Structure 1
Amino acid sequence: MTKNSHGPQAATGVLLASLMLPGLAALSVLAPSNASAENAPEKTTIGVKYGSYQDSQPGWERVKVNAPQVYVQAPVAGEWSIEGSAVADSVSGASPRMHTQRSGASNMSDERKAGDFKVTRYMPRAAVSASVAYSDEHDYTSRAFGIDGRWSSEDNNRTWTLGYGTSIDRIDNTSNGVNTAINQRKRTHEIMAGVTQVLTPADIAQLNITRSAGHGYFNDPYKSFDQRPGERNAWIGLVRWNHYVEQFGAALRSSYRYYSDTFGVKSHTVGLDWVQPAGKWTLTPGVRYYTQSAAHFYLDPKFDAQGRYDMTATILGAIAVPGDKSFDQRLAAFGATTLSMKVAYAFTPDTSADIKVETYRQTSGMRLGGNGSPGLDPFRARFMQVGLTHRF
């Protein structure tokens, strides 16, 4: 299963680390959220989680993913910490090759093993981290490396962040594929700069800007008529604002993300989460909206006089298009919503359990500012994760 996904899957967080490039995704998902950026941890943390994902279209269940994960963070010599995570997920189901037509679908079954490792050095009002990641499955291998630094002002009200990461991927599709890809390579570089500012005793804001530059093999060898540019560069802007609501003892977390790349895809993501402690319980309902435009080489389907999908006309139309082209739904124009609920329970100050459920719905009609791409069946996904965390 090749990793050409972006946009809705990555933005909703539904697929977690299971259907994303590994990079630092697993660490960011499993790390304790209350860890301080410039202070070494005082205790060792172990987290175990199990994720389950299922997506579907009308009358058809498609991809299933099961993903057990483990995370460990430990202090070293008072000024260092090491942390790592591992995930072994199994993927099965069917993936459509052309729009949402079942006649073009292929069955798939795969297992992926991935891991991350990170070392951090803490200094007064600063920290520097270096990380590596590795992911392997039968047709796709990825290696990632990263380094980042964080430093704070003297009053600790402002923190700057600067980071660099790169991933080196190898694609080897030698069977069951439409377009055989043998020893194809793809490399991506990312630079991120950000600032976090305490605005008031109840408000904190963050701004991150990321520049991504990729070159190599971006085609999906499991899809018919899929030829994409050899470069994909992107700008990503992320704004977060957290507000403490004193009368409820709760926190409102909001975010906005803008994405634009040289494929022609532009997307907007808005998210809201309400974090409500209640004794030993913490409830976190959330909602997210996503919308994107189509890639400039995405091909719409053809329809007959009665408005029915015309596969012959669609294929002939694709043959007549020179150069880059793709029927991949992920490159179409659409909108999507995600509803989520996380429930956590603290047995002790150092031991807690949690469960999170997300439901994702995607249609062309939900695209902001106009109709989305035609011929897309509604797409739904469900994600559930249970976890246990202990510090000692």
Structure 2
Amino acid sequence: MHTDFPPTPAGPSEAGPSQAAPQLGNAILAAALLLPGLGAVNAVHAEEAPERATLSVKYLSYEESQSSMDRIRVRAPSVALTTPVAGVWSVAASLTADDVSGASPRYHTAVSGASRMSDDRGAGDVAVTRYFPRGSVTVGAAYSTEHDYKSRALSLQGTMSSEDKNTSWSFGVGGSDDAIDPVNLVVAGESRQTVNLMAGVTQVMGPRDLAQLTLTHSRGHGYYSDPYKAFDNRPRQRNQSTLLARWNHHHEDGGGTSRLSYRYYSDNFGIRAHTLGAEYVQPLAQGWRVTPSVRLYTQRAASFYYDPVYDGRLGEPFPPGYVFGTTAFSSADQRLSGFGAVTLGLKVAKQLNRDWSVDLKLEAYQQRGSWRAFGGGSPGLEPLRARGIQLGVTRQW
């Protein structure tokens, strides 16, 4: 029965790597809080150390575009290793290198010009887990760096199961410290600190059903503005809360497993977001496995977001009614707008033998302001499209 939970995006925006870069430190920390291991969450069996070591090498190619303009291209190789130690310990580590290039929007991707950009990002994390008969304790650390942004994170998570092991509780705490030094010298030596808390419960509902509920809350303070966008001035405190519900059901007749998820996100910027996810894992003959997926996302714009329309006095991209010298919060960042998004995916995996497997994952993403549910979206947005291809090879021993 294949019922382990897959990773779920941690941030409020459905945008791709180029849109998520300023949140990299928080994303790494959120992933660390879903340990043990770097990857899928298997909370019910978190008390059991892995029997074999696993080495995975993956390569991601990602591209996004808007109208007739190609925007961002990302090439990202990564390697992850998980190994048991002395029967009651495990060590998990991963390294990722991103080569990012393309057109970076100055103000707003729909109406502004764009400058050429190129950047290299590196990220790594490590986690050590100690297993007990009815629980586990995991300590994790993560680090990421690029030419103008560095992030360091630490996390601690514990799990505890009921005597029959049908119920598992998890608790976690983490902290990150980010350093921001933009090359345009708008600011220098800025920083951001965040504390994350997590609590969750996983329940075996029967021989074919597994349910999980997870609540996370983070409190951060420091520099949240985007130094590369004009008139971008955001609060220096951001509190974020996420409620995630997941349900896996094994279909005995066909041998497949359906995975459903719902996530609600809110923060003090005024963003409210909903995510619905569904995928179906279908094993086939001769070691093949096919997993189609769909994810629907919608978010309300931040309270200080504006569409940079032409102002009769000042012209684009000034906020409507802008007064020189004002310190009011404002941003035309697309990630803070109101929009909806759809992601379609397909993963094909092949178990070559007992030790080797390969997989290929394809994803197509589209974002539009008019797709926002529960209200109108931001009218200044043009459709944003993205596609990703990831190839992976895994070896166990």
TM over 0.5, yes or no?
yes
Quote the residue 1:315 is aligned against: 318
The TM-score with structure 1 as length reference comes to 0.91
The Cα of 1:106 is off from its aligned counterpart by 2.3
Matches within 5 A, 1:1-392: 6-9=11-14, 20-21=24-25, 22-23=28-29, 25=31, 31=39, 36-101=45-110, 103-175=112-184, 180-279=186-285, 280-302=287-309, 312=315, 314-315=317-318, 317=320, 319-320=322-323, 322-392=327-397
Quote the residue 2:5 is aligned against: none
Q: CA separation in 1, counterparts of 2:314 and 2:66? A: 19
Q: CA separation in 1, counterparts of 2:320 and 2:353? A: 63
Q: CA separation in 2, counterparts of 1:257 and 1:103? A: 32
Residue aligned with 2:265, SS: strand
1:330-366 superposed Cα distances (whole Å, 9 cap, x missing partner): 1000000000000000011332110101111000111
Report if aligned partners of 1:15, 1:53 keep a CA contact under 8 Å in 2: no
Report if aligned partners of 2:219, 2:237 keep a CA contact under 8 Å in 1: yes
The size of the alignment, in residue pairs, is: 380
The Cα of 1:103 is off from its aligned counterpart by 4.1
1:253-281 superposed Cα distances (whole Å, 9 cap, x missing partner): 00000000000000000000011000211
More off after superposition, 23-32 vs 380-389: 23-32
Report if aligned partners of 1:18, 1:65 keep a CA contact under 8 Å in 2: no
| Residues 1:319 and 1:51: Cα distance change in structure 2 (over 3 Å) | same
The TM-score with structure 2 as length reference comes to 0.90
Q: CA separation in 2, counterparts of 1:304 and 1:136? A: 39
What amino acid is aligned across from residue 295 of structure 1 in structure 2?
A: A
Q: CA separation in 1, counterparts of 2:114 and 2:20? A: 24
Residue aligned with 2:382, SS: coil
The sequence identity of aligned pairs, in percent, is 49
Structure 1 gap ranges (5+): none
1:148-206 superposed Cα distances (whole Å, 9 cap, x missing partner): 0011111110000000111100000133xxx6121100011110000000111111100
CA RMSD of aligned residues (A): 2.5
Residue aligned with 1:20, SS: helix
What amino acid is aligned across from residue 87 of structure 2 in structure 1?
A: G
Report if aligned partners of 1:218, 1:229 keep a CA contact under 8 Å in 2: yes
| Residues 1:317 and 1:43: Cα distance change in structure 2 (over 3 Å) | same
What amino acid is aligned across from residue 229 of structure 1 in structure 2?
A: P
What amino acid is aligned across from residue 315 of structure 1 in structure 2?
A: F
Q: CA separation in 1, counterparts of 2:279 and 2:146? A: 34
Residue aligned with 1:375, SS: coil
Report if aligned partners of 2:153, 2:176 keep a CA contact under 8 Å in 1: yes
Q: CA separation in 2, counterparts of 1:124 and 1:191? A: 25
Report if aligned partners of 1:8, 1:336 keep a CA contact under 8 Å in 2: no
